[in-house]
């Protein structure tokens, strides 16, 4: 696996730019789930966020995915500052620029693999109905599942289900792929296959942010960010845990 891709570097435009971002949950006492987070993710980056349970990983993913609003700080996604956006604009931005992959796959149980992938275009992206099924097949091809396009999720293995979810996330070529514990429900063989797929995607220029607490997963990322008690620190080779 190549760790240094020529497309990365200070020159490529940032996809994610967080400045002094905080997220506080109202409780007594208030829970500060993210504290002054600064993070820049550039186009083509492959970033792993690691940290123990309850450290704020899911909170970070929700904020990055525009599913939740930060309490303070700024977040620019693909060059668009999100702080002042309304609900509709955030939804549109989410639909057009972000693909999600969840630990629990989140496939609709009564729809075929292809229909599940098509769902991404029904709600988000810019494309119309014409050619949708062809594009869905292409996305399934990209994850190596074209031959399973008519299968219901119940007839797919865990690894295959997660690849369908990845194919769905890839529809409409999002600027960012956000994955929350994508291997959490997979055995080691399926995990390996999925990580190989992620490497392929990175080579194709997809920007990946993967939340995980699995070392095998984070080791294959280009960059590793550790989060503990809402505080984010980047690990760089030997300087880990500075």
Ligand X SMILES: Nc1ncnc2c1ncn2[C@@H]1O[C@H](COP(=O)(O)OP(=O)(O)O)[C@@H](O)[C@H]1O
Smallest distance from the beta carbon of 117 to other proteins, in angstroms? 11
CA nearest 195: which of 40, 46, 4?
Answer: 46
Strand segments, DSSP code E, in the chain are 14-25, 31-42, 46-50, 72-77, 80-81, 98-102, 176-180, 208-212, 223-228, 231-235
Per-residue binding string, other proteins, 107-136, x by CB under 8 A, is: xxxxx-------xx-xxxxx-xx-------
CA nearest 182: which of 149, 216, 152, 206?
Answer: 216
Q: According to CB under 5 A, which one of 5, 12, 58, 185 is a site residue for Mg ion?
A: 58
CA atoms of 208 and 136, how far apart (whole Å) = 20
Q: Which residues pair with 31 in a beta bridge?
A: 25
Residue 159 token pair: 């690894």
- List binders of ligand X among 32-91 (CB under 6 A): 33, 51, 53-59
* Of residues 5 and 235, the one with the C-beta less far from other proteins: 5
* Of residues 58 and 96, the one with the C-beta less far from Mg ion: 58
Per-residue binding string, Mg ion, 12-51, x by CB under 5 A, is: ----------------------------------------
Give the footprint of ligand X on this chain (CB under 6 A): 25, 27, 31, 33, 51, 53-59
């Amino acid at each position: 696996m190549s760790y240094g891709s020529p497309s990365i570097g200070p020159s490529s435009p940032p996809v994610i730019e967080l400045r002094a971002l905080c997220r506080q949950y109202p409780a007594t006492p208030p829970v500060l789930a993210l504290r002054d987070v600064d993070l820049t993710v550039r186009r083509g980056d492959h970033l792993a966020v690691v940290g123990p349970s309850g450290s704020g990983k899911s909170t970070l993913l929700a904020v990055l995915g525009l599913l939740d609003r930060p309490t303070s700080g700024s977040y620019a996604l693909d060059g668009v500052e999100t702080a002042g956006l309304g609900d509709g604009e955030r939804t549109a931005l989410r639909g057009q620029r972000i693909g999600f992959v969840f630990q629990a796959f989140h496939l609709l149980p009564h729809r075929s693999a292809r229909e599940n992938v098509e769902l991404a275009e029904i709600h988000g992206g810019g494309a119309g109905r014409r050619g949708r099924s062809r594009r869905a097949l292409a996305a399934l091809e990209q994850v190596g599942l074209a031959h399973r396009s008519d299968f219901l999720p119940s007839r797919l293995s865990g690894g295959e289900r997660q690849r369908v979810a990845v194919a769905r996330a890839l529809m409409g070529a999002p600027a960012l792929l956000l994955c929350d514990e994508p291997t959490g429900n997979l055995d080691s063989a399926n995990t390996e296959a999925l990580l190989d797929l992620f490497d392929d995607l990175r080579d194709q220029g997809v920007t990946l942010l993967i939340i995980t607490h699995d070392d095998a997963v984070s080791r294959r990322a280009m960059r590793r960010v550790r989060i503990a008690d809402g505080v984010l620190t980047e690990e760089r080779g030997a300087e880990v845990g500075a």
